[in-house]
């Protein structure tokens, strides 16, 4: 039995004039309709996927959204690095105070490539951090009423070496959120340790440039930032007046050649100009 043929006609509704017609079978007709629908779907997909028209789809991320997402990822990565460095510094302070050798900063790079080493370092961080917190809690539970004056009075009489000769451009002002001093000096000027002690941190920071921190006796820590070059590494012993760095203008927060100098006693920033003549 011959397949049943269909006649498809297109005409003018007003005049009933036939414009064109074609004959086909029922199977071919539905095949043609399916092909047309598939072509429409593919065309719509290509139009929205390969042209800027896709940005009109609700929920599709714009260029600005993708840019902000990338910036957030970079900031998160930077914060993770800063937190890791803080943990590293705290561990070294605890180890030095307890008479142990500090962890070289190179160990952190190796640990990131070695899972077993990474777990060991993390365990060491956790143990030392818990011990440090417990020791601080034990020492301070009866010292709640200590004032800043009583803390500072314990370092009266110490002889501090001047870290660098220069002009103080930003004085110490703890109330204004500036608990340190900025000393203008030429790039390459020698920076000296203010007291004898041990280097507990010597690193590069995108915002602060080259930074070196020294742990001294009597719970004193001195910090030197924005250096051009560091002359000492973690674990080095220094005396008062030992060259530790060169003045520079490194880091995004630096606006000129100077030394950013901080002096801390028992976890509290103090005014260096009370003890040092710059």
pLDDT in tens, 191-203: 999 999 999 999 9
Cα gap 230→246, rounded to integer Å: 7
Report all structural domains of the chain as residue ranges with CATH numbers, in order of start: 5-55 (no CATH), 67-145 (no CATH), 156-274 (2.70.70.10)
- 8 A C-beta contact, residue 196 and residue 239: yes
Model confidence pTM above 0.75: no
Closest alpha carbon to 233 in 241, 223, 244, 224:
244
Q: Dihedral, CA atoms, 81, 83, 89, 90, nearest 10 degrees?
A: -160
Cα gap 188→185, rounded to integer Å: 9
pLDDT given at position 201? 95
pLDDT digits (tens, 9 = 90+) for 112-149: 444 444 555 555 555 555 665 665 566 555 444 444 44
Q: Which long-range contacts (CB under 8 A, 24 or more apart) does 271-276 make?
A: 271/172, 271/174, 271/181, 272/160, 272/172, 272/180, 272/181, 272/194, 273/168, 273/171, 273/172, 273/181, 274/152, 275/155, 275/158, 275/160, 276/160, 276/162, 276/163, 276/194
Q: Please report which confidence band the pLDDT of residue 22 belongs to, taking 50, 70 and 90 as the band edges.
A: confident
Q: What residues contact residue 126 under an 8 Å CB cut-off, 6+ apart?
A: none
pLDDT digits (tens, 9 = 90+) for 39-57: 999 988 887 777 776 666 6
């Amino acid at each position: 039995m011959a397949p049943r043929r269909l006649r498809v006609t297109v005409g003018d509704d007003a005049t009933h004039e036939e414009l064109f017609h074609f004959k086909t079978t029922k199977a071919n007709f539905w095949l043609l309709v399916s092909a047309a629908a598939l072509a429409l779907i593919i065309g719509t997909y290509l139009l929205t996927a390969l042209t800027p028209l896709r940005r009109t789809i609700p929920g599709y991320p714009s260029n600005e959204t993708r840019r902000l997402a990338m910036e957030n990822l970079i900031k998160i990565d930077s914060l993770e690095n800063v937190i890791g460095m803080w943990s590293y510094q705290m561990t070294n302070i605890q180890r030095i105070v307890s008479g142990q050798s500090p962890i070289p900063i190179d160990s952190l790079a190796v640990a990131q490539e070695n899972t077993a080493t990474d777990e060991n370092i993390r365990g060491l961080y956790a143990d030392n951090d818990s011990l440090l917190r417990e020791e601080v809690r034990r020492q301070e539970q009866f010292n709640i009423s200590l004032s800043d004056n009583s803390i500072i009075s314990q370092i009266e009489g110490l002889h501090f070496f001047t870290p660098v000769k220069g002009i103080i451009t930003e004085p110490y002002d703890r109330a204004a959120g500036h608990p340190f001093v900025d000393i203008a000096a030429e790039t390459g000027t020698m920076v000296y340790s203010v007291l004898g002690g041990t280097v507990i941190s010597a690193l590069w920071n995108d915002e602060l440039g080259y930074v070196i921190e020294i742990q001294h006796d009597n719970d004193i820590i001195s910090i030197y930032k924005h250096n051009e070059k560091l002359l000492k590494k973690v674990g080095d012993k220094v005396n008062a007046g030992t060259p530790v760095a060169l003045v520079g203008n490194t880091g995004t927060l630096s606006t000129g050649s100077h030394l950013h100098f901080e002096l801390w006693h028992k976890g509290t920033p103090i005014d260096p100009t009370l003890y040092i003549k710059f």
